[in-house]
Amino acid sequence: ADMFANEEGGPEPDWVITEREQFSDFRDLNKDGKMDKDEIQHWILPQDYDHALAEAKHLVYESDVDKDQKLTKEEVLDNWNMFVGSQATNYGEDLTRNHDEL
């Protein structure tokens, strides 16, 4: 009710419809109309999602200015704040080590 108060006769916003579909299609796995502990765990920590790979792809996508799928030293330094704030670089600690690829 904090995000959307359904007024009588009023149409639901598109985002509410989308969220209902997401719930019924992907979240409510046993189709009982509510989420149990296992469904919440699957939602928060999906088995088929590689967090490290997703974060690495995000860093490359955001920093690769020439879109050659390779990061130059300059591209990394120009986006240092993104790398220092990333779990993929151990919050910047890994950037201080000597790397041949850099």
- Residue 15: name the closest of 33, 29, 3 by CA: 3
pLDDT higher than 60, residue 8: yes
**Cα–Cα separations (whole angstroms), residue 102 to 14, 40, 74:** 46, 40, 10
Question: Taking residues 6-24, what's their average pLDDT?
Answer: 86
Q: What is the mean pLDDT of residues 6-22?
A: 85
pTM exceeds 0.75 for this model: no
State yes or no: pLDDT of 89 exceeds 70. no
Least confident of 3-7, 16-20, 22-26, 47-51: 3-7
